[in-house]
Amino acid sequence: MLPWFQDGKFPIYLAPMAGVTDIVFRTICKELGADVMVTEFVSAEGIIRRDDRTRKYTEFTDEQRPCGVQLFGADGLRMGEAAKKIIDWKQPDFIDINFGCPVNKVVSKNGGSSLLKDCPLLASVASEIHKAVGDQVPVTAKIRIGWDDQTINAPKVCKALEESGMQVIAVHGRTRSQRYTGEANWDVIDECARTVAIPVVGNGDITCGEDVERRKQQTAVSGVMIGRAAMQNPWVFREAKHYLTTGEHLDPVPMTERWQLIRRHCALAIESGRYGEEQYTMMAMRSRLIAYCKGFPGAKMLRKTLCACTSIAQLEDIAAEYTNHHDRGVFDINL
Ligand SMILES: Cc1cc2nc3c(=O)[nH]c(=O)nc-3n(C[C@H](O)[C@H](O)[C@H](O)COP(=O)(O)O)c2cc1C
């Protein structure tokens, strides 16, 4: 069993999210208590072509370990080849295979969740990758519960993946047709965890420590994975761990600490150079800033202001003015 599940550990993963869980955001989530992380998905073909941009997505720091690199593709042999290249460059703690992506561009080429429709093909892709990698690093997989409501087959898929040598399976409790709508089905996730002997990590709609505790108590999962809630509130990992050990919630994160983190995230993103110069990085950060400010008093106006922000200096002014208004209890600000 992988070390992060041993001795009764119940790891909390940061979910892979393309365009979100880059090296900078992973640093932040690790500091705030995420146990295991997976890179954004990367194309096996991009890796084989030695495409620089694809290669960048696979980067992680040693502090982020255990960290896996997630691959998507349709051909097991090519994906195995890509996995070996990644291992040569980076020696990740595991290779993760994406069998859950619902995006048309990926599905139309038989990648991501499309393989859920063909269990023998999915198993052969997983086996080929496992064979190529050998015992260099463990191979894990991430799936959805099925293609649509009529074809929920995750327990069967999990069995096939276990027989193909996968060492962990993360199950997102939605079908491909649902994409991100409706509620995650934790009954099916539970059934998956009871069907296989390897650890199953449950994923879908976890937003706080109480959710983690409930899933731990009420299902057979060996860990959980948090995605969208971390975009809004990366402190969720710290909160969840505190709740698991004490049964109590932490105090809400003060506004000043929130703004400090928002500022730091932007500064690190600029420093990383991934999105280009400051102005372009701040533009790329807009959706992230909006996520951080969801639920803030006066969020509607704040959103507009942040969307026009093109520098760290401007962000600092916005934060100062917002905090000033907030402290005086004036929420509907027009900055
Ligand atoms: C913006 C975004 C990007 C995502 N990218 C990936 C990805 O690259 N690989 C993957 O396996 N899942 C990806 N997902 C799915 C998440 O990993 C996760 O399964 C899903 O968001 C459900 O968990 P949550 O309810 O905690 O958000 C993505 C989700 C979002 C919202």
Q: Whose CA is nearest to atom 7 of ligand 1?
A: 17
Q: How confident is the model at residue 239 (pLDDT cuts 50, 70, 90)?
A: very high
Do residues 72 and 183 both lie within one domain?
yes
Closest CA to 113 of 74, 161, 76: 74
Ligand 1 centroid – CA 158 distance (Å): 19
pLDDT in tens, 313-326: 999 999 999 988 87
Task: Kindly state if the Cβ of 241 falls inside 6 Å of ligand 1.
Answer: no
Atom of ligand 1 nearest to the CA of 203: 23
If you average pLDDT over residues 68-86, what whole number do you get? 96
Burial of residue 124 (number of CB atoms within 10 Å: 0-12, 13-18, 19+): middle
Q: What CATH number does residue 129 fall under?
A: 3.20.20.70
Ligand 1 centroid – CA 101 distance (Å): 8
Do residues 229 and 300 both lie within one domain?
no
Q: How confident is the model at residue 329 (pLDDT cuts 50, 70, 90)?
A: low
Task: Kindly state if the Cβ of 38 falls inside 6 Å of ligand 1.
Answer: no
Atom of ligand 1 nearest to the CA of 226: 26
Report if residue 332 sits inside a domain.
no
Ligand 1 centroid – CA 185 distance (Å): 15
Answer with the one of 216, 246, 276 that is the final residue of a domain. Answer: 246
Do residues 222 and 263 both lie within one domain?
no
pLDDT in tens, 40-75: 999 999 999 988 888 889 999 999 999 999 999 999
Task: Kindly state if the Cβ of 111 falls inside 6 Å of ligand 1.
Answer: no
φ, ψ (nearest 5 deg) of residue 143: -130, 170
Substitution site in 17, 106, 206, 288 for ligand 1 pocket (most atoms within 8 Å of beta carbon): 17
Residue 332 has pLDDT above 60, yes or no: no
Task: Kindly state if the Cβ of 96 falls inside 6 Å of ligand 1.
Answer: no
Report if residue 159 sits inside a domain.
yes
Q: Whose CA is nearest to atom 14 of ligand 1?
A: 17
Do residues 306 and 236 both lie within one domain?
no
Residue 53 is predicted with a pLDDT of 83
Output the CA–CA distances (angstroms, integers) from residue 83 to 77, 86, 162, 293, in the order listed.
10, 5, 19, 37
Handedness of CA 142, 144, 145, 150 (dihedral sign): negative
Atom of ligand 1 nearest to the CA of 40: 8
Residue 282 has pLDDT above 50, yes or no: yes
Atom of ligand 1 nearest to the CA of 98: 11
Structural domain that includes position 18: 3-246
If you average pLDDT over residues 301-309, what whole number do you get? 94
Report if residue 132 sits inside a domain.
yes
Do residues 225 and 314 both lie within one domain?
no
pLDDT in tens, 184-234: 999 999 999 999 999 999 999 999 999 999 999 999 999 999 999 999 999
Residue 325 is predicted with a pLDDT of 82
Task: Kindly state if the Cβ of 312 falls inside 6 Å of ligand 1.
Answer: no
Ligand 1 centroid – CA 247 distance (Å): 28
Task: Kindly state if the Cβ of 41 falls inside 6 Å of ligand 1.
Answer: yes
* Residue 178, C-beta contacts closer than 8 angstroms, at least 6 positions apart: none
Angle at 292 between CA 291 and CA 298, to 5 degrees: 95
Residue 335 is predicted with a pLDDT of 41
Q: Whose CA is nearest to atom 3 of ligand 1?
A: 17
Residue 324 is predicted with a pLDDT of 87
Report if residue 171 sits inside a domain.
yes
Output the CA–CA distances (angstroms, integers) from residue 36 to 22, 211, 213, 232, in the order listed.
14, 18, 18, 19
Do residues 180 and 276 both lie within one domain?
no
Residue 106 is predicted with a pLDDT of 92
Residue 55 is predicted with a pLDDT of 86
Residue showing tokens 């959706």: 287
pLDDT in tens, 1-50: 999 999 999 999 999 999 999 999 999 999 999 999 999 999 999 999 98
Do residues 118 and 137 both lie within one domain?
yes
Do residues 98 and 12 both lie within one domain?
yes
Nearest-angstrom CA–CA distance, 304 and 280: 17
* Total domains in the fold of the chain: 2
Mean of the per-residue pLDDT values of the chain: 95
Report if residue 234 sits inside a domain.
yes
Residues of the chain above pLDDT 70, percent:
97
Nearest-angstrom CA–CA distance, 94 and 5: 14
Atom of ligand 1 nearest to the CA of 204: 25
Do residues 90 and 143 both lie within one domain?
yes
Answer with the one of 246, 277, 305 that is the final residue of a domain. Answer: 246
Residue 328 is predicted with a pLDDT of 62
Do residues 107 and 128 both lie within one domain?
yes
Do residues 159 and 50 both lie within one domain?
yes
Residue 102 is predicted with a pLDDT of 94
Active site residue 119: no
Nearest-angstrom CA–CA distance, 293 and 262: 9
Answer with the one of 246, 273, 292 that is the final residue of a domain. Answer: 246
Do residues 184 and 302 both lie within one domain?
no
pLDDT in tens, 104-163: 999 999 899 999 999 999 999 999 999 999 999 999 999 999 999 999 999 999 999 999
Report if residue 237 sits inside a domain.
yes
Report if residue 276 sits inside a domain.
yes
Residue 333 is predicted with a pLDDT of 40
Angle at 11 between CA 2 and CA 15, to 5 degrees: 100
Q: Whose CA is nearest to atom 6 of ligand 1?
A: 17
Q: How confident is the model at residue 331 (pLDDT cuts 50, 70, 90)?
A: very low
Report if residue 42 sits inside a domain.
yes
